[in-house]
Amino acid sequence: MKVIILCGGKGTRLREETEFKPKPMVEIGGRPVLWHIMSMYARYGHKDFVLPLGYKGEVIKQYFHDYRMRNADFTVDLATGSTTYHPTVQVTDWRVTMSDTGPETLKGARIKRIAQHIDTDRFMVTYGDGVSDINISELVDFHIKSGKMATFTGVRMPSRFGSVKTDENGNILSWQEKPVLDEYINCGFFVFKREFLDYLSEDESCDLEKEPLERLAAEGQLSMYRHTGFWQCMDTLRDAQALNSLWDKGNAPWCK
């Protein structure tokens, strides 16, 4: 099954890092968050990736063009110009297709613009900035059993603020520091039937979460897979620092 990882956004809330690189290339433990996401899928046997590129996409292209050189010992014969790589690290057997989809293009249009690279009956999509310990096989099984055209993964998030309940006289009835909200939010990790591509447009204003998914929901063709484990996006510098802290402590749930 093809895995599409959306890599075109500008990451304006992480400007400390994204002034010089696209957000999927911001590092956790010395590796781009994009690499961590791809590793998650690869552990479940999904190793055929399509990356719709936009802002500073050339950085991602260069990373994978030089991937073998970056991750292996090699010898260069300066007389002949030949390079010999030494099998000092495990070979990464991924297939990565990269396609420029425009600097201002929204997510739905990015997917539509790489439709020629989707040759499977179903495909998966996720964002290029979130890591999770989600069981991809269970997600796919849930999607197939649902019979729907599309499935997204929902998580319950803690509130940014504490919650206090009082009676009419101002007496405290309960106090909760940043309680988990009842509502679910979309954290990505989608599975789609291929016919979903007909809901998308190549017009750069086509946003995945707007009309296409709203239309699916109205037609009863959208299901939600509930994930109760770890998920964290890298939206701000604080998020990046928190994820690196987990990695440095050997407590990165998305790698287990």
CA 29 to chain centre: 17
Per-residue pLDDT of the chain (256 residues; tens, 9 = 90+): 999 999 998 888 888 889 999 999 999 999 999 999 999 999 999 999 999 999 999 999 999 999 988 888 889 999 998 988 887 666 689 999 999 999 999 999 999 999 999 999 999 999 999 999 999 999 999 999 999 999 999 998 765 555 566 667 666 666 555 545 568 889 999 999 999 999 999 999 999 999 999 999 999 999 999 999 999 999 999 999 999 999 999 999 998 7
**Is beta strand 48-53 parallel, antiparallel or unpaired with respect to 2-6?**
parallel
Alpha-carbon radius of gyration of the chain: 21
Backbone torsion region of residue 29, taken as left when φ is above 0, otherwise alpha when ψ lies between -120 and 50, otherwise beta = left
Which among 2, 9, 8 has a CA at the least distance from the CA of 41?
A: 2
In the numeric block, the tokens 């109760």 are attached to 228
Q: How many CB atoms lie within 10 A of CB 120?
A: 10
d(CA 40, CA 70): 20
Q: Is 60 helix (H, G, I), strand (E, B) or coil?
A: helix
What pTM was estimated for this model as a whole? Answer: 0.88
d(CA 146, CA 102): 34
